[in-house]
A and B are shown apart, each in its own frame.
Chain A
C-alpha cells in the first residue's frame, strides 16, 4: 500500500468511527424529541416498568422491558397540548426558570467583565492570590457552599426568596476565571496604541477589550446559562416554596410521576438552549481562545 492509500483508508476508518461516536452523543437529544410526539399510553407502555407505582395502573399495558423507542406508532401533539395549553403550571415553572437564570447570567457577565479586566491589567501578587482563592471557590461542589449559602441567606432574610439563588449566582467566579484568561491574551500593543490616542482606562475596556472578547463573552454566557438553567440542588435547599421552583426541579420530579409528559416538557425546556446553540455555536467554537493553563 502506498502512503497515500494508507492515509485514505485511515481517514475512512476515522470517519466511520467519528460518525458512530457522534451519533451516540446525539442519541439522547433525538430520543427526547422523538418521544415527545408519542401518546402518553405508548410512553407508559414502553417506559412504565421504570416506575413502580405505574404498575398499579391496570388500564395501560406495560411491557416488562424498558424499550428504547425512536419512532412513535402514532405521531401526536397530545403531550404538547397538555403541557402548553391544559396546565398553566408548566409555563409558570418555565417563567420561574427564566426569572432566575437570566438575571444570574446577565449580572454574572457584567461583574466578570470588570473583574477580569482588573485581573488582567497590572497583575501583582495580591491579585494573583485573590485569583487563586477564586479558583478554589469555583471548584467547590455545591454541597460545600451549601452551608455558607444557607447562613448568608438566613442572615439577610432572603431565605425562601429568589434572591437566595440569584445573589450568590451573580458573584460565582466561574466566568471571571475564563474571561480573565481571554483578556490576558489581548496584545499589549493595542492597549498602548489606544493610550497614545488618549484613551482612558475605561475606554480601553469598552473600546478594545469588549469588542475583542465578544466571542468569548457569548460562549461563556452560554455555559453559565446552561449551568443555571439546569439547577436542581439550590432551589431545593434555599426555596421551600415549590411555587417558586424552576422547571428544572419540576422536570426531575415529573419523571417519577407523569412520565407520559416528561419528554414534551423536556423539549419545551430545551427550546432556549437550542435557540442559543443555533445563534452561538460558532461563538462557542471560535470564542475559545483561552490559551489553557490556570493563571492565564
Chain B
C-alpha cells in the first residue's frame, strides 16, 4: 500500500499523520511540542512505527512554523505554508467549504474558499490573545482543565462581558468579574465570547464569511468557542473529525504527487539529535544560525540570510 506522511510542527503542538493515496487517515498523533520539536517528532515517529510497523513511505509533506526543521529532520518532498495545507485538507473532506476558521496554539487563520480555491486569507499578527495559549493560560488561572472549559461555558446562563483585546486586560477583567461575584460558568463563557470577538476583529474585518464554515485546529475541541462563533455569526460551524491534525493531512495530501521521496527513513527516530545555535559575527546582521547535530556531526544548518552557513561540507 502507498502511504504518505504529513508533519505539522506548530508552536505548541506537533502533529503527524499517515494517509493512503485516497487521503484516508491511517494513523495520527497530536502531542505537545513542549519547546522540543525534534524530540516531539522523534517520539511520534517511534509511536507510528510501533503501531504500524515499517511502512514504506512514498512521500512526505511538512507544514507549520517548524516546517523547515521538520524537513531537515525527516526529509520532505513538500514544505508548505499552513494556509495552503489547511485549505487543501478542508477541501478534501468538505469540497463545498467556503470558510475555514483555524485556531491553533499561537496563531489563528481565516481562509476564504470559493469554488475549491483559496480566494483570500488572513493570519493574526504578533498578538496571541485570541489563540489556544490564551485559553489554556486562563483555564489554568481559574484552576480548571482546558478540556472542561467548553462544557462549563455551555452551561452559563449570562456570560460575563470580558475584554478580549489583550491577554493582560482580559486577565485583570476576569479577576474583577470574579471579585464582583460572577460565577465560574459565566466567566468562562465570557472568555469564549472575548476570544471570538478578538478573532473577528483581527482577522475577519471586511471579509465575507459564508457557510459552509469549517472550524479546525486545536481550539475547535472547545464547544464553548464553537457556540460563541455560531451565536456571533449566525452560521453553523462544522468541526471535522480530524480537526486537530488537518494541517498535517493537507501536507500529506500535497506530497502524494511527488516522484521519488526524500524521506530519510525511520532511523531518524533513534538518532541522537541535538540543536545548537550561534550568532554569526561576520557582518553586522548578526544572524542567528541554527544547527542540528547527529552526535558531533552537523546534519543541517540554517537561519543565515546570506546562505553561507547553509551549505554543509560533506
Query: A and B from one assembly?
Result: no
